[in-house]
Amino acid sequence: MRERSRVGGVGEVRLAVVKLGGSIITRKNVPFTPNLEAMRRISEELGRLYRLGWRFVVVLGGGSYGHPVAHEYMYSGLMATGEAFSAITRAMLELSEVFAEVASEYGLNPVIYPPHAFCRPRGFKPNCCWDIVRRAFWYDATPIVYGDAYPGYASIQIVSGDELAVEAACELGAERLVYLTDVPGVYDGEGRLIPLLTRAGLQELLEHESVGGSSSIDVTGGMRRKLQAILELGCQGLRVVIGAGTRPGTLALALEGRREAGTWVEL
């Protein structure tokens, strides 16, 4: 079990990293369309939990903003251009600003941290300077980060929100990492919901079972990418929940340690 950490040097707080799937916070099949109803519902729940003593890093998926833009440049052969870098980063900043505006209505004091400004990816690892983000907690602010583009040496790289979420949870000492997705959890090859995965079970699942990706445009690999990120970047003692962001109360269940929150991964 991971111990509670002193986040930001202002005393003990309970910290959770929450990854909001793009299929939840956007209309994923309609480009540049936020799901404001979902954003408000989730922000209301975050705000209520915030008042109960939790603090959050919120990680946004690309949804109908970053993914279709990146997809267009990737498959047109123009990914290694300033135009692609500009378009992807602007799309994700726009989504983040929409979410921040909603979150501010619920007292979360959102502050946007563009990953291309404080991360230097090395392969699968985002390699971010999380001490910069940690300072937000000194002022009871809520950091918002998101899947982004980064100027690599040969081309523009995609920094996935799934990896960002794992690295943030480990580097900041979060008690929970919660992925809110459009499904209730992880299913095995026969379509059965898996209630609990250990590191060994997760590795076996990825090696021998068929784990689906995403039904919409997703340049970062859907569920399989999440599980790979947890396996490869997850630190010992990390507790992860993958649950339905479409169901009210899933986040609270996850923070309470309830099994019905979804699939638990315990490393």
Q: What is the pLDDT of residues 112-147, one digit of tens each?
A: 999 999 999 998 899 999 999 999 999 999 999 999
- The rounded distance, in Å, linking the Cα atoms of 146 and 7 is 20
Contact 9, 18 (CB under 8 A): no
Its pTM stands at: 0.91
CA atoms of 245 and 182, how far apart (whole Å): 6
Q: Residues 232, 211, 198, 50: is their CA dihedral positive or negative?
A: positive
pLDDT surpassing 90 at residue 65: yes
Q: State both tokens at 183.
A: 């499904």
12 contacts 6 by C-beta, under 8 angstroms: yes
Q: What does the pLDDT read at residue 219?
A: 43
Instruction: Please give the structure tokens belonging to residue 119.
Output: 């991360």
pLDDT in tens, 80-114: 999 999 999 999 999 999 999 999 999 999 999 99
β-bridge mates for residue 142, sequence order? 110
Distance CA 14, CA 56 (A): 8
Segment 41-66 shows an average pLDDT of 96
pLDDT at 217: 41
Q: Are 128 and 167 a contacting pair, CB within 8 Å?
A: yes
- Amino acid identity at 195: P
Question: Do residues 69 and 87 lie in contact, with contact meaning Cβ atoms separated by under 8 Å?
Answer: yes
Please give the share of the chain, as a percent, with pLDDT higher than 90. Answer: 81
**Which residues face 111 on adjacent strands?**
143
Instruction: Work out the percent of the chain whose per-residue pLDDT is above 70.
Output: 91
Over the range 106-120, which residues count as b (16 or more CB within 10 Å of their CB) and which as e?
bebebebbbbbebbe
CA 215 to chain centre: 18
Taking all residues of the chain, what is their mean pLDDT, rounded to a whole number? 90
What is the C-alpha separation between 111 and 114, in angstroms, rounded? 10
Quote the pLDDT of residue 12. Answer: 62
Alpha-carbon gap, residue 150 to 138, rounded angstroms: 28
Q: Which domains does the chain have, with CATH numbers?
A: 7-266 (3.40.1160.10)
In SS3 terms, 104-139 reads as HCCCCCEEECCHHHCECCECCECCECHHHHHHHHHH
Alpha carbons within 13 angstroms on the beta-carbon side of residue 130 total 17
Give pLDDT, residue 7: 53
